[in-house]
Amino acid sequence: MSEPGAGLRRGPAQPVETAAVAGAGGPFGVAAVAGAGGPFGVAAVVESGGPFQMAAGAESSGPDKSGGPDQSGGPEESGGLGESDGLREADGPAEGSRGPAGSAGPERGAAASAPGPAASARRKLRPEHYDFFAGGAGEETALRENERAFGRLALLPRVLRGGADLGTRVSVLGREWQAPLFVSPTAFHRLAHPDGELATARAAAATGIPLVTSMAATTAVADVVAAAREADSEALVWFQLYPQPEHEVTAELVRRAERAGCRALVVTVDSPVFGRRTRDLRNGFHDLPPGLAAENMRDLPGAAPGSTRDIAMWPAGWDDLARLRELTDLPVVLKGVLHPEDARTAVEQGVDALLVSNHGGRQLDAAPASVEALPAVVEAVAGRVPVLMDGGVRRGTDIALALALGARAVGVGRPVLWALATGGEDGVREVLTALREDFTHVLTLCGGRRPEDLTADQVVPRGLPYRPGGPGRGERAW
């Protein structure tokens, strides 16, 4: 890779990605960003990293924040992504406002009088940067379905359960979390705000929410952890990792995460090749602006001193995961598992937790929504390891639905990016606090006192009959 800019290695024998839209010239494998979540709207969850064709950049003053929605060179945004009320942007403006954070489903309320967070962020960001954060693969079907799938589900509340000692704490990998919520890994935060990942880390720590920092962050992992620990000396930070074809590169990344004080590795396994990101192809967005780089990729084995390496996407195997396990005593969380048989194999291979995710709709556009894949993975795991989930989580009801279907905790990403773009550290802190408070409210309305009180028999499909006589305790209702 040369500086400035970065090429992205596609790994052995990968096909060239051609433009999916008229006018998008040639192979640009720009990858993903963003992860899921936040209480008020954001397009779908994505995860960090992803195939990035932009690892390095010449040093300068950082990204230009000019531009706006009128100038976007991206493709037509299927479903009006980012242009609705900002709660379920993927449903599109034609389907109406989503109303307050606790509402559910499209077409439920008067049109919002103020723009939602995604629309506000869009006005702050360069068009190609907004599209990078907001977009998905192909026709963005998986992106939209991540959110819409939640709108197709309802919660059956329980009544007269008594008890005033409400609590939201959950235990994950030996640590007690204040709420069943974490910040999913998302890349390139300095495209959204000059303080980038440092602001996100401080805000997450201040609200007691664990942070998964991305391998493709524009701030090195050691600095991210240090910022989090400034706000809270016990702040929990995990490191998201794409295993690299060169074992020595993977080993050095793991050692850096350990030295920084990360408490777990989140290993993304759903990217043997790049997803075709239509918006990035059309925008010709394949490099970071001057002054920004994927800092975790700097000074790695095989790179010239002071330079960065590309993040390679390649078809790793179970043997590569075994070699990774030999490198570290940190817990390993496998991210991107959707098939129950893969979940069983992962547990047998000694993985410590699973994260059900479709990469925020940025890899396989035909993939199911994360919440649709969740129940089968939970059943396959059978309680042997914690199951986490991200993708489409935008409000407290979404968290409650995922927990009722077996998730221990859920991740949010794009809402964090929109909040960062519009309000910096304060904005991220506010959105995480609002989402946590909304979940507490929903938990109480469902008759629960603890997250584990939410059960699968409380989840029913909207508009369809469920089992005559109702479901048995703990059973799904359809």
Question: What mean pLDDT do residues 161-166 have?
Answer: 85
Residues 227-249 pLDDT 10s? 999 999 999 999 999 999 999 99
Amino acid 409 reads: A
Give pTM, 2 decimals. 0.80
Residue 463 confidence (pLDDT)? 87
Residues 175-203 pLDDT 10s? 999 999 999 999 999 999 999 999 999 99
SS (H, E, C) the chain: CCCCCCCCCCCCCCCCCCCCCCCCCCCCCCCCCCCECCCCCCCCCCCCCCCCCCCCCCCCCCCCCCCCHHHCCCCCCHHHCCCCCCCCHHHCHHHCCCCCCCCCCCCCCCCCCCCCHHHHHHHHCCHHHHHHHHCCECCCHHHHHHHHHHHCEEECCCCCCCCCCCCCCEEECCEEECCCEEECCCCCHHHCCCCHHHHHHHHHHHCCCCEEECCCCCCCHHHHHHHHHHHCCCCCEEEEECCCCCHHHHHHHHHHHHHHCCCCEEEECCCCCCCCEHHHHHHCCCCCCCCCCCHHHECCCCCCCCCECCCCCCCCCHHHHHHHHHHCCCCEEEECCCCHHHHHHHHHCCCCEEEECCHHHCCCCCCCCHHHHHHHHHHHHCCCCCEEEECCCCCHHHHHHHHHCCCCEEEEEHHHHHHHHHHHHHHHHHHHHHHHHHHHHHHHHCCCCCHHHCCHHHEEECCCCCCCCCCCCCCCCC
- In the chain, what are the domain boundaries? 1-66+117-478
* Confidence band, pLDDT 50/70/90 cuts, at residue 44: very low
Residue 164 confidence (pLDDT)? 80
CATH superfamily for domain 1-66+117-478:
Aldolase class I (3.20.20.70)
Residue 468 confidence (pLDDT)? 52
Active site residues: 359
